């Protein structure tokens, strides 16, 4: 037996078993990781929405602005890809809960830049924080972090599990964005209960191969019983395995946005995530080149402006996770159907809800005592 097997030293940056860290929330979020929308069912999503409503009522109270729920609790938001909205709203959410928060952007100043182990970096962050938010370019980056942290807990090296919240994992998922989007839909369509999601039509428009917010959004929409319309490019269609998983929740697939605008309750528009395209010309394959050209043409055809919003039914809404590029024309900003700035605001109470629940201190159970 090798020395590595005897003392189970990690020799590569691979967690022992990624599947073991993606546990169903099953209405008990305390100290669990939030890595995928696949962990949540309808009741779980309802719990986050109810909690976000409680958080919003606190931060919109001018005499209050926040709650001293998590004093001395520390969040680190480690963003290994650029972010304006997610990392910043996560740290604001923590501070509104009375805790402290640090945003770490990129890893150029961490020991990883000195060639040290990524796995050890995640364990190091877990010794410094009570909860971690993590964004990575790798599809399973937050799972990897959760795996090495859990392993350190199981060996008795860390004295408690530090929940990992996925703040965007490569091309796979962005669950906190999806939860914030669902909260926005709940509010802006004036729902009284979670049941009202059932049968509402939501169109997702964009690069369905690479846009993580839409993957999580579709999984959440399916859990809530929404009818999903996929507006997609031949160059970047919905992956077959995700289409199969969503099953009958997908009611229609098309490349023609105008064909569906008149029948939807929610338009969820993504941007072209071409940061994943090769940076150097010599790294482009012919397939990537054609894909990029076709996608650029499709995004041009899908530009949503004031007039396109007018084709949508009365009372319907447009959401866009931001940051926007040219796919969302500035003329939408004076159309009340465009609720994407409200959507960004809603991320604060939703991320407060996520932090409070995963720290085991739900606002709904604690607010009366504070």
Looking at 38, 253, 322, 324, which residue binds ligand CP (CB under 6 A)? 322
By CB under 6 A, name the one of 84, 157, 234, 326 that touches ligand CP. Answer: 84
Helical (H) or strand (E) element with 103: strand 100-105
Minimal distance, residue 346 CB to ligand CP, in Å: 12
Q: Is 343 in the site for ligand CP (CB under 6 A)?
A: no
Span interacting with ligand CP, options 84-92, 105-113, 139-147, 293-301, rule CB under 6 A: 84-92
Distances (CA, A) of 23 to 5, 19, 39, 47, 75: 27, 8, 6, 17, 21
d(CA 213, CA 196): 22
Tokens of 22: 């993606």
CB closer to ligand CP out of 84 and 157 = 84
CA–CA gap between residue 189 and residue 364 (Å, rounded): 23
Quote the least distance from Cβ 369 to ligand CP, whole Å.
Answer: 33
Which CB atom, from 15 or from 321, has the smaller least distance to ligand CP?
321
Q: State the virtual CA torsion across 271, 246, 17, 102 in degrees, nearest 10.
A: 40
Please state the separation of Cα 252 from the chain's center in Å: 24
Which of 22-30, 37-45, 83-91, 140-148 is the region at the interface with ligand CP (rule: CB under 6 A)?
A: 83-91
Nearer to ligand CP, 51 or 181 (CB): 181
Q: Does residue 38 interact with ligand CP by CB under 6 A?
A: no
CB of 175 to ligand CP, least distance (A): 11
Instruction: Identify the CA nearest to 219 among candidates 192, 258, 179.
Output: 179
Binding of ligand CP at residue 8 (CB under 6 A)?
A: no
Interacting stretch for ligand CP, rule CB under 6 A, among 17-25, 77-85, 233-241, 276-284?
77-85
**Nearer Cβ to ligand CP (81/233):** 81
Q: Which listed range, 30-38, 153-161, 203-211, 318-326, lies at the site for ligand CP (CB under 6 A)?
A: 318-326
Give the C-alpha separation, 148 to 128, whole Å: 15
Q: Does 171 bind ligand CP (CB under 6 A)?
A: no
Q: Which is nearer to ligand CP, 91 or 177 (by Cβ)?
A: 177
From 133, 142, 321, 349, residue interacting with ligand CP (rule: CB under 6 A):
321
Q: How far is CA 17 from CA 22, 118, 201, 212, 224, in A?
A: 10, 17, 37, 22, 29
Among the listed ranges 69-77, 184-192, 196-204, 317-325, the one in contact with ligand CP (CB under 6 A) is 317-325
CA 287 distance to own-chain centroid: 29
Of 10-18, 62-70, 200-208, 321-329, which segment contacts ligand CP by CB under 6 A? 321-329
Which of 121, 166, 177, 316 forms a contact with ligand CP (CB under 6 A)?
177
216 interacts with ligand CP by CB under 6 A: no
Residue 98: left (phi > 0), alpha (psi -120 to 50), or beta?
A: left
Using CB under 6 A as the binding rule, whether residue 86 contacts ligand CP is answered as: yes
Burial 141-175 (b: 16+ CB within 10 A, else e): bbbbbbbbbbbbbeeeebeebbbbbbbbbbbbbbb
Which residues are paired to 103 by β-bridges?
A: 77
By CB under 6 A, tell whether 323 contacts ligand CP.
yes
Site membership for ligand CP, residue 85 (CB under 6 A): yes
Residues 151 to 170: which contact ligand CP by CB under 6 A?
Answer: 168
Task: Figure out which of the listed residues 83, 92, 184, 316 binds ligand CP, where binding follows CB under 6 A.
Answer: 83
Q: Does 121 engage in binding with ligand CP (CB under 6 A)?
A: no
Helices (H), 155-301: 175-188, 212-223, 240-246, 257-261, 286-301
Residues with Cβ within 8 Å of 244's Cβ and at least 6 positions away in sequence, in order, are none
Stretch that binds ligand CP, among 15-23, 79-87, 219-227, 361-369 (CB under 6 A): 79-87
**What is the CA angle 86-101-96, rounded to 5?**
80
- Residues near ligand CP, by CB under 6 A: 83-86, 168, 177, 321-323
């Amino acid at each position: 037996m090798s020395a590595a097997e005897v003392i189970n030293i990690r020799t590569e940056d691979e967690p022992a078993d990624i599947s073991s860290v993606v546990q169903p929330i099953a209405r008990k979020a305390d100290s669990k990781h939030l890595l995928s929308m696949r962990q949540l069912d309808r009741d779980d999503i309802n719990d986050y929405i109810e909690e976000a409503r409680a958080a919003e009522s606190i931060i919109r109270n001018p005499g209050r602005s926040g709650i001293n729920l998590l004093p001395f609790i520390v969040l680190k938001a480690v963003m290994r890809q650029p972010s304006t909205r997610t990392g910043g709203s996560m740290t604001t959410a923590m501070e509104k809960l009375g805790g402290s928060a640090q945003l770490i952007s990129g890893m150029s100043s961490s020991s990883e830049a000195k060639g040290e182990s990524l796995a050890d970096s995640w364990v190091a962050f877990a010794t410094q924080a009570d909860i971690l938010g993590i964004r990575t370019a790798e599809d399973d980056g937050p799972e990897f972090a959760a795996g090495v942290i859990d392993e350190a807990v199981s060996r008795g090296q860390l004295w408690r599990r530090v929940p990992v919240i996925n703040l965007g994992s490569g091309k796979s998922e962005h669950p906190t964005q999806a939860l914030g989007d669902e909260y926005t839909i709940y509010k802006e369509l004036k729902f009284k209960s979670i049941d009202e999601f059932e049968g509402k039509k939501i169109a997702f428009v964009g690069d369905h191969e690479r846009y993580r917010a839409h993957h999580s959004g579709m999984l959440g929409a399916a859990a809530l019983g929404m009818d999903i319309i996929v507006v997609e490019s031949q160059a970047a269609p919905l992956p077959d395995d995700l289409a199969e998983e969503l099953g009958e929740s997908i009611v229609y697939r098309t490349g023609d946005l105008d064909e569906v605008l008149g029948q939807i309750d929610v338009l969820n528009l993504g941007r072209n995530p071409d940061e994943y395209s090769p940076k150097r010309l010599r790294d482009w394959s012919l397939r990537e080149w054609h894909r990029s050209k076709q996608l650029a043409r499709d995004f041009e055809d899908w530009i949503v402006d004031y007039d396109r919003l007018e084709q949508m039914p009365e009372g319907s809404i447009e959401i866009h996770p931001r940051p926007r590029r040219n796919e969302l024309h500035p003329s939408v900003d004076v159309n009340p159907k465009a609720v994407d700035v409200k959507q960004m605001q809603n991320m604060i109470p939703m991320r407060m809800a996520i932090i409070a629940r995963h720290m085991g201190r739900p606002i709904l159970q604690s607010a009366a005592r504070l």
